[in-house]
Structure 1
Amino acid sequence: MNISLKRVNAIFQKDFKDFSRNWAVSSVLFVPIGLGFMYGRAGVEDLTSHYLLINLAMAMVATFVQCCLIAEEKEKNTLRGLMLSPASTMEIIGGKSLLSFILTLGVIVLTSYLSGYQPADTAVIVVAVVLSSLFYIAIGTILGLYSKSVMEASLIVMPVILIFSLGSFITQLADSYPILKVALYLPNIQLIELATKVEAGGSFGDVLVELGIIAAWVVVSFIATNIIYRKRMID
């Protein structure tokens, strides 16, 4: 399948203009950045705390922003026209995901810098964060397709932010409530496990299981996004 970069870029530029005019949505960028600054000033060095910020950044930026961008298209009744345009599914989803992806990585880099987090192996962490970001963007796309307005999107995304940013606290209750052990396989928890191994001197070969689980989440979320998107095309 040939992908037109011109169409992807056109969708990206439109989203950038819409995003820059919507302060209610763009203000979420400052939450993880502000917390990162506070963590840095407080001298927080705990790895779990750093990844609480990183997972929060992905949930609030990748998922929330992506969800609102899709919901805004639906609210303005322009998504249907985009779906029926000559642009392919990959071009539309890719174009509408590009802004969320760039913003997410930018916020994570700035937040990590302000909080003082310096990974032992940057390459491994970058791969894991990129994979995780793709998962969160896919979730945001799915939620956006189910939302009817930006206001509804702001509400429907809240459980995702809570589960994936505070999931590390849920796992602490796994011994008392065995059913919660399922949470150990969530991508945010696997990212923390991966980072822990990296800090202990692990390389790519030592974190293949964690990367594999995160990649599996990405594949499943992408398949679900494609199915739901195509279903919305014929609704």
Structure 2
Amino acid sequence: MKMNRVMAIAEKDFKEFMRNMMLLTMPILPIAMAFLFTATPLPESKKMDMVLSVLAMSFVAVLTGSLMTMIAEEKEKHTLRGLINSPASMMEVFFGKSLVVTIILLVTISVVLFIFKINIFTNIWMVVGFILLYIFYLLLGSLIGLHVESVSVTSLYFVPVLFIFGMNTTIANIGIKKDNILIKLNEYMPMMQYSKLEQSGDIIHLIIIAVWLIVTFICTYLLYRKSSID
């Protein structure tokens, strides 16, 4: 991987990011939610659920949302195919495009954890799980960005993605019966598995997150190759 190619892509995306007001406001959502939750009296047993809920919003809003918008913008301007067919490898392209949003994501999550005054990285498995989640949400944003035809269409995907992949711990605690099919499906979502990992430390939850990651990677790779010839 050549860093000069990565930095060239990242520099271009940084300029685009700074010009796009919608992208600049993405980190505000999780930070605002963190302030809202901390202002509400909560039992200590529910605190981690709230933290993980805001963490999921951070992943979806900052990482997935920003990345799918930037890739869709490349596609709309008809520059994506040229980027994909350039000497830069797939890894260089995605590393370059994700560099800016990764930095913003880490800053956002640091602010959120500071507001909650909590450390979620209590053991090595929580760190590994966080890294797997990061890659999953990055690939999810890339997958949607490669799939849609324009930036305007990404807004149609954002709310469903936020609901399905960003509100899992909230859905689990809204009082719906446990035998409901939606609740059962929700239990296998990546962020719910991360929550279960925090509670039990069982490595099976890491494996399930890894399966989500692998499936998303395969779909993203196939769309990436398809975009090079469309």
TM-score, normalisation: structure 1: 0.87
- Deviation larger for 185-194 or 163-172: 163-172
1:217 to 208, 212, 217: 212
Match of 2:115 in 1: 114
Please give the alpha-carbon distance, in whole angstroms, between the structure 1 residues aligned to 2:157 and 2:117.
32
Q: Deviations over 1:62-109 (max 9, x none)?
A: 110110110111122211211121111221122112223222222112
2:189 to 186, 199, 203: 186
Please give the alpha-carbon distance, in whole angstroms, between the structure 2 residues aligned to 1:43 and 1:142.
38
1:28 to 26, 29, 32: 26
Residues paired across the two proteins, number? 225
Shift of 1:154: 2.0
Gaps of 5+ in 2: none
Match of 1:40 in 2: 38
Gaps of 5+ in 1: 198-205
Match of 2:156 in 1: 155
Map residues 57-76 of structure 1 onto 2, 5 A cutoff.
57-76=58-77
1:9 aligns with 2:4: no
2:53, 2:170 within 8 Å by CA — same for their partners in 1?
Answer: no
CA shift in 2, pair 1:207/1:102, >3 Å: farther
Please give the alpha-carbon distance, in whole angstroms, between the structure 2 residues aligned to 1:174 and 1:131.
30
The share of aligned pairs that are identical, in percent, is: 35
SS in 2 for 1:86: coil
Match of 2:100 in 1: 99
1:59, 1:160 within 8 Å by CA — same for their partners in 2?
Answer: yes
- Deviation larger for 23-32 or 102-111: 102-111
1:207 aligns with 2:208: no
Please give the alpha-carbon distance, in whole angstroms, between the structure 2 residues aligned to 1:49 and 1:147.
32
- Deviation larger for 80-89 or 169-178: 169-178
- Deviation larger for 104-113 or 184-193: 104-113
Shift of 1:37: 2.3
Please give the alpha-carbon distance, in whole angstroms, between the structure 2 residues aligned to 1:169 and 1:78.
39
- Deviation larger for 32-41 or 218-227: 32-41
SS in 1 for 2:27: helix
Please give the alpha-carbon distance, in whole angstroms, between the structure 1 residues aligned to 2:221 and 2:115.
37
Equivalent position amino acid for 1:148 in 2: E
Please give the alpha-carbon distance, in whole angstroms, between the structure 2 residues aligned to 1:55 and 1:225.
21
1:33, 1:107 within 8 Å by CA — same for their partners in 2?
Answer: yes
Please give the alpha-carbon distance, in whole angstroms, between the structure 2 residues aligned to 1:33 and 1:145.
28
